[in-house]
Each structure stands twice: as structure tokens, then as C-alpha cells.
Amino acid sequence: MSDQKNFYITTPIYYVNDVPHIGHAYTTLACDVLARFKRLSGYNVMFLTGTDEHGQKVEKSALAAEIPPQEFCDNVSSRFNELASAMNFSNDQFIRTTEDRHKKAVQHLWKTLEEKGFIYADSYAGWYSVRDEAFYAEKELIEGEGSEKLAPTGAPVEWVEEPSYFFKLSAFEDQLIEWYETSEGAVQPKSRLNEVKSFVKGGLEDLSISRTTFSWGVPVPGNDKHIMYVWIDALTNYLTAIGYPDMENEDYKAFWPADVHMVGKDILRFHAVYWPAFLMAADLPLPKRVFAHGWWTNEGQKISKSLGNVIDPFELIDSYSLDAVRYFLLHEVPFGNDGDFSRQSFVNRSNAALANGIGNFAQRSLSMVHKNCDGKVPQPGEFTDEDKAFLEGLDSVLAEMTEHMDNQAFHKAFDALWKQVTAADGYISTQEPWKLKKADPQRMETVLYICVEAVRQLSILMQPIMPDSCAKMLDQMSVSERGFDQLGVKGRMQAGTAIPKPEGVYPRFELPAEE
């Protein structure tokens, strides 16, 4: 048996009814940062994202665009793929639900549920929201302005009556509650877990899992008048990607159950109620965690196409820089909470943390070494207590970060890291190496050695959130071993390593002029 540690993380697969926006970039970014963190920690990682291409919503959008559905899906899906490159996402796979391997997996899961007696034929009469691709009970509906009925999300609903297959969701109430209560951290954050629990405790109705009034989807095995409900189709992608239904497959054995299904709070019910119930019914292990993060607004307003305030991630990257966008999205808001995007705070926060923070410290340190130490990392003398205390802080921050990352508390992990940037600023300001050149050159060399070592460690630790700029920084310092096992004493900077004239990697941004 290999002692390789495996880690499987997934994003929601995004509907192709519309082009990607900042919300989609956000969820995938969170997964990317965690995937990179785990890889650097020595894990074998499977990081999955992709597109959800079936169902009535996508079919309607294709019709409205007057493009055949498959071609429509190909076009929009490729935009999501482009987003992955533009954002420097390190996903191992990009799955599409229109792929054959996926259709096979869903049909296999369906047949399994049927054989185990959890699917029956009947007819559905009730409310459906195409925008949410969700069925709602009468008691969940709210009243709109003209007293029309709306989904709790504000989406329009329509009355649907049609023959349908049902999944016996009602049989899983007790098992679901037991799962929430006994599997620590299975649904996070805790406030969301409470929402899910009270929904389940309120009583579960059987779930309609097929539709007959449109055709864009996976046919039900043995009755192709029925198209599978898009959520049973979509959720199964997490299994398809690792080879299901071949459960002897190496990927399946290594990666199931998933470590984290990352989702937005809007789709928690599907992931924390329906999905585990399907898995329980099929006798498959349950994911270790479903984490539902919060919602971004734009300058205080809900992001919506009709308000015309959708934030385009491609535009943002072009106007600023990729790593500043990555930094801001993931450090600005406590992960799990809602966040507001404002250009003012984007510019202020990234200038403070990047250009004036790590960027300034690295630039000062490396240019002093370049100028005053013959362009080489100097040989340090004896360390003082201050030197040791500063290095110890750096050497030990990974443990603290890991604990936070394992709880998806990205903001706390990066707070801990940026505390070390502040400590580095404090160190260089109190040691004043620029004054030591004449007074005590040997001490100057020791201080500068420690500063360069700090730049090395900080750059290694920042790689998950800002991979490009950290790579440039480490290149400048000829550091080739970049895994977390190189942190601390093991990978200490070697005296004599060439330090060329440094180039800044964190530009300062100006606020756009008021119109």
C-alpha cells in the first residue's frame, strides 16, 4: 500500500445558460487555492470543475439564441474553460455533462437506485422554477409585487403536471439527520448546517427526478420519453470524473469519497440533502464535507444581468493584475460570509497588502543584497534573539495556516501569513540594515540574509493564492525547490546564491477617476 495522501476537491459545475462572472470565478478560485495548498503539502490532488449543460434552462437559452443546444453548450462551456486559464486555475479535469462517460455514469446510478427499490413511477403536480431548476412546495413560496407566486429565491415558478419518476427521498430523513449529527463538519459553515437540518426536520417529500416536457438531457434508462431531472444528472459528475461506475478504477479508489464539495449557499440543499440521499440509496460513501460559501454583491447591489452590474472577471484581470484579483477575492471577506465588491476597496486592499506589503519588503531586501553584498546572498554571522524570534515566527506559520485551510477559513490562514509580512517590515525597520553598512558590515550581512530568507519563505507560502508572482519572485532568487517541505531550516537560503537586480512583481493601482 502506498502512503500517498489523496485529496479530492470539486466546484459546482456551472450552467451554460450564461457566460461566467465573478461569482463563478470565486468558487473555483477557493478550490484552486486549497488544491494548490494541498499539493504543496505533499498530497495527490484531484481538483474538478466543469459545466452543467442539460435541462430546461439551458435548452431555453439555446432556443432563444437560435443555436442548436449542443453547439450552444460548446460555445459557453469553452468560455468557462477560458476563465480557468485566465484565472490560472490548476484543475485536473474539466467535466461536461454532455460527455458520453457522464451519460453512462448517470444512467448507471439511476439503474442502481431503481434496483434497490428507491425509484417509482407516478405523476408530479406542483411548482417548478426553471431559473433555479428546482421543485418547490407550496409552503415555501413567497408573494411577488403583483401578488404572483415566486420561489423563495425570487425566481418565477410555474405549475407543472406531468408523469414523473420519483426518488424516495422521504425514506432518508433519519439517516440524513444522523449524518449531520455524527459526521463532524460534514456540512459547513455551522449556520448553514442548521438551515439544512431544520429543512429536513420539517419533513421530506419524495423528489420528482424525471421530466417529460422537454428533451435536452439524459434519457431515463428503459423509458426515453422521460429526461432525467437535471440535478440528479449534474450531481453525478463528481463520480463520473473519477471513473464511476468502474469502482475498481485507481482514481475512484484514491479519491472517493470527496474531501470537499465547494458550493455557493444557493445550492446547498441539493448538495447536503439530495446528493447524500442518492449516495445512501446507492450504498456509496458520503462526501467528507460540503462547504457553502456566501454571496458577492457589487457596490452593495445584488449582481444580476438585468441590473447590468455583472462583474466580468476577464475585464478585472485586464484592468488590474491576476494575482491582485486572486488575492482580493479570497482575503477580503471571511470565507462563508457574503461580500461586497467595490473598486475602491479592491485598490486600497491590494495596494496595502501587495505593493506596500510583501512587494515593498521583497524589493527592499533583494535590492539591498544586490547592491551591498556583491549580488549574492551573504554569509550570516551569529543570530541574535530578535533574529531567532523572527525566523521562528516564519518557520511555524504553516501549521497555523494548515489548520485554517482544513476548515476552509482562507481569510484566517492568510491573516496568519500576512502577520509575518508585518513582522518582516518590523524586523527590517528596527534592524536598519542600511545604517549598518559602515558601522557593522558583518551584522548587515546577517540581517540581509534573514530578510532574503523571509522573502523565500513568504513567497513559498503565498504560492497557492498568487502562483504567478510568487514563481517570478522565487525565480529571481534561484529557488527551485518550492514545496512546503522546504520551509523552515531544511530549505534555508544558501549563502552565495546570486541575487540579480530585483524586478517588482506587485504593481500599485490607481482608483479610476470619478465619471
* For ligand ME8, the closer CB: 270 or 449: 270
For 303, the enclosing helix (H) or strand (E) is none
Please count the residues of the chain.
515
Least Å distance, CB 276 to ligand ME8, is 13
Residue 290 or 398 having the CB closest to ligand ME8: 290
CB of 12 or CB of 359, closer to ligand ME8: 12
Residue ranges in 282-312 assigned as alpha helix (H): none
Q: How far apart are CA 243 and CA 221, in angstroms?
A: 20
Compute the least distance from the CB of residue 466 to ligand ME8, in Å. 21
Q: Is 423 helix (H, G, I), strand (E, B) or coil?
A: helix
Q: Which residue is nearest to ligand ME8 (CB)?
A: 23
Local structure of 127: helix, strand or coil: strand
Least separation in angstroms between residue 18's CB and ligand ME8 is: 7
Amino acid found at 319: S
Give me the least distance between CB of 207 and ligand ME8, in Å please: 15
Residue 259 φ/ψ, nearest 5 degrees: -80, -45
CB of 341 to ligand ME8, least distance (A): 9
Q: Which is nearer to ligand ME8, 228 or 436 (CB)?
A: 228
Between 200 and 329, name the residue whose CB sits nearer to ligand ME8. 329
Check: CB of residue 361 under 8 Å from CB of residue 421: yes
> 48 or 281, CB closer to ligand ME8?
48
> Which residues lie closer than 8 Å to 476 by C-beta, 6 or more apart?
366, 499, 500, 502, 503
CA dihedral 292, 102, 204, 113 (to 10 degrees): -140
CB of 382 to ligand ME8, least distance (A): 52
Task: Tell the smallest beta-carbon distance from residue 51 to ligand ME8 (Å).
Answer: 8
- In this structure, the dihedral spanned by the alpha carbons of residues 475, 481, 487 and 489, taken in order and rounded to 10 degrees, is -110
C-alpha span between 308 and 298 (Å, rounded):
11
Residue number with CB closer to ligand ME8 (51 or 360): 51
Which residues of this chain interact with ligand ME8, rule CB under 6 A?
12-15, 23-24, 26-27, 52, 234-235, 237, 263-264, 266-267, 295-296, 303
Instruction: Give min distance, CB of 213 to ligand ME8, in A.
Output: 20
Identify the CA nearest to 263 among candidates 187, 334, 199.
187
Quick one: cell of 419? Answer: 502577520
| Long-range interactions of 306-309: CB distance < 8 A, separation 24+ | none
The 3-class SS string of 313-365 reads HHHHHHHCCHHHHHHHHHHCCCECECEEECHHHHHHHHHHHHHHHHHHHHHHH
- In order, the DSSP letters of 33-74 are HHHHHHHHTT-EEEEEEEEE--SHHHHHHHHHHTS-HHHHHH
Nearer to ligand ME8, 12 or 491 (CB): 12
DSSP structure class, residue 496? T
Least distance (Å) from ligand ME8 to the CB of residue 217?
Answer: 13
CB 303, min distance to ligand ME8, A: 5
Query: DSSP assignment of 162-230, as one string?
Result: EEEEEE-GGGGHHHHHHHHHHSTTSEESHHHHHHHHHHHHT----EE-EESS---SPEETTEEEEEE-H
* Closer residue to ligand ME8 in complex, CB, 336/378: 336
**CB nearer to ligand ME8: pick between 44 and 90:** 90
